[in-house]
């Protein structure tokens, strides 16, 4: 029953009865039985926006800026494809949590042998550190641009955001979700303004939404494409979503679970369409402002900040860009903390005080970010941002394969088992992710060998 070795499994394929995800807020959000329409959607809305944060974190900025300035609108198709893949996978994560009462981490612990579960946990922790690394760097850059704070000091200052997390958690899960959604609205508003003043080529935008073979055949474009994939479909979000949907106190009957899955899917789709807008806006802005002007090597956030106002002739362009970056970094901090808690508690059943967990994770990110910022400055932090997203992408298969496997299993999922068409789509997405990662590894080894 403790998940050691190859302990016998029950009739649903689990080795234990499972544990509550995010126990301090488990089923804490009421879902009125009489609520219909928009009122019912409002009751379920929130978890999708929490995971949407991860799809527009500072790591996305680095890859989207680099892709837009270097290749114009060509990589818009990768953002669109990544977002569609994200909707499929996040929907599966929500269904897993609702159907089984388990988050993805505890499901892996209860379904696989102890060594496999430990390996998956270690890979998850690497992904969390890579994600946190992007947030540390993004927040530090935002503070530097807005207030002139040196990068190294900005990196160190990010350790203090643990107090923000604690304050939000004490006020309840709904308050935390409201904080996240408010910052998302600020980010979206800033980029709506940027798009208006940048006046992109709409025909070029439309053409960019159609994939081309060059994305795979051009190693530089492929590297950025996989970075975008890693920044968009993030492994820790799958764990977080499967736990966050369990904060809703929905009817646990089969019919109630099916209803909850329907509204969770709608919440996910709406939230990730907002993420699609922001991601596409960053790349379109880089293409319109820099690529068309011949500035094809603007891969650093600081360079984009300095060039936006003079290039676009809009006084607020650079300031709002930095405001959105800072909001993005702070938002991502909240969700990464929750994801880290879900992963550690689910795999190890080890409960740490939130501030301890946060300081450990942030410390592992601050050390490399601080060293790089001190030694290499802006150019080093920009490269570290892109690299962190590629690392995330390489971790994806180890989260996606178990998720698709569990949600395809009728024994575990009951009436929320993925229908045949969804299984096919999910496995195709998985194959595409693994294929792209293998291509990246082979190209990287080839470049290293040469």
List, run by run, the mean pLDDT of 10-residue segments along the chain (450 residues).
46 76 89 91 95 82 87 94 93 96 94 93 84 79 89 81 70 88 94 94 95 88 79 82 96 95 97 94 94 84 89 91 89 81 86 71 71 72 70 83 96 94 95 79 57
Domain 58-449 fold: Amino acid/polyamine transporter I (1.20.1740)
Q: What pLDDT, on the 0 to 100 scale, is given for residue 6?
A: 44
The domains of the chain are located at 58-449
Confidence (pLDDT) at 384 = 73
Residue 3's pLDDT is: 38
Residue 288's pLDDT is 94
State the pLDDT at residue 389. Answer: 66
- State how far Cα 383 lies from the chain centre: 19
Residue 2, pLDDT score: 39
Q: SS3 for 197-252, per residue?
A: HHCCCHHHHHHHCCCCCHHHHCHHHHHHHHHHHHHHCCHHHHHHHHHHHHHEECCC
| Cβ pair 146, 322 in contact under 8 A | yes
pLDDT score for 290: 93
> pLDDT tens-digit profile of 182-234?
999 999 999 999 999 999 999 999 999 999 889 888 888 888 888 777 666 77
pTM for this one? 0.88
What is the reported pLDDT for 225?
85
């Amino acid at each position: 029953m403790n998940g050691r070795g190859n302990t016998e499994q029950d009739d649903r394929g689990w080795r234990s009865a499972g544990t509550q995800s995010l126990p301090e807020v488990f089923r804490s959000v009421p879902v009125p039985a009489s609520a219909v329409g928009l009122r019912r959607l409002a009751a379920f809305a929130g978890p999708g926006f929490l995971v949407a944060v991860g799809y527009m974190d500072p790591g996305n900025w680095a890859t989207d800026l680099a892709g837009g300035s270097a290749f114009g609108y060509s990589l818009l198709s990768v953002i669109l494809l990544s977002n569609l893949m994200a909707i499929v996978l996040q929907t599966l994560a929500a269904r897993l949590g609702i159907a089984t009462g388990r988050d993805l981490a505890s499901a892996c612990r209860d379904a696989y042998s102890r060594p496999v579960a430990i390996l998956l946990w270690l890979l998850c922790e690497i992904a969390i550190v890579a994600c946190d690394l992007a947030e540390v760097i993004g927040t530090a850059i935002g503070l530097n641009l807005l207030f002139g704070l040196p990068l190294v000091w900005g990196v160190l200052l990010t350790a203090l955001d643990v107090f923000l997390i604690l304050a939000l958690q004490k006020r309840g899960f709904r308050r935390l979700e409201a904080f996240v959604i408010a910052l998302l609205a600020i980010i979206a508003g800033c980029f709506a303004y940027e798009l208006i003043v940048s006046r992109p080529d709409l025909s070029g935008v439309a053409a960019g939404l159609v994939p081309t073979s060059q994305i795979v055949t051009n190693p530089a474009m492929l590297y950025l494409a996989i970075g975008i994939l890693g920044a968009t479909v993030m492994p820790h979000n799958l764990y977080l979503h499967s736990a966050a949907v369990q904060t809703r106190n929905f009817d646990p009957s089969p019919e109630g679970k099916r209803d909850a899955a329907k509204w969770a899917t709608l919440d996910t789709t709406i939230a990730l369409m907002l993420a699609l807008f922001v991601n596409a806006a960053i790349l379109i802005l880089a293409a319109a402002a820099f690529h068309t002007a011949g500035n094809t090597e603007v891969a650093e956030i600081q360079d984009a900040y300095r060039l936006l106002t003079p290039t676009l002739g809009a006084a607020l362009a650079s300031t709002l860009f930095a405001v959105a970056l800072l909001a993005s970094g702070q938002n991502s901090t909240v969700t990464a903390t929750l994801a880290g808690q879900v992963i550690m508690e689910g795999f190890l059943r080890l409960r740490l005080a939130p501030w301890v967990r946060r300081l450990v994770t942030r410390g592992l990110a601050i050390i490399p970010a601080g060293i790089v910022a001190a030694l290499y400055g802006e150019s080093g932090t920009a490269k570290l941002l892109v690299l962190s997203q590629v690392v995330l992408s390489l971790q994806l298969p180890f989260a996606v394969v178990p998720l698709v496997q569990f949600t395809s299993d009728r024994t575990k999922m009951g009436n929320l088992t993925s229908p045949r068409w969804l299984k096919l789509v999910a496995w195709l997405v998985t194959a595409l992710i693994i294929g792209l990662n293998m291509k990246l590894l082979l190209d990287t080894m080839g470049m290293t060998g040469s």
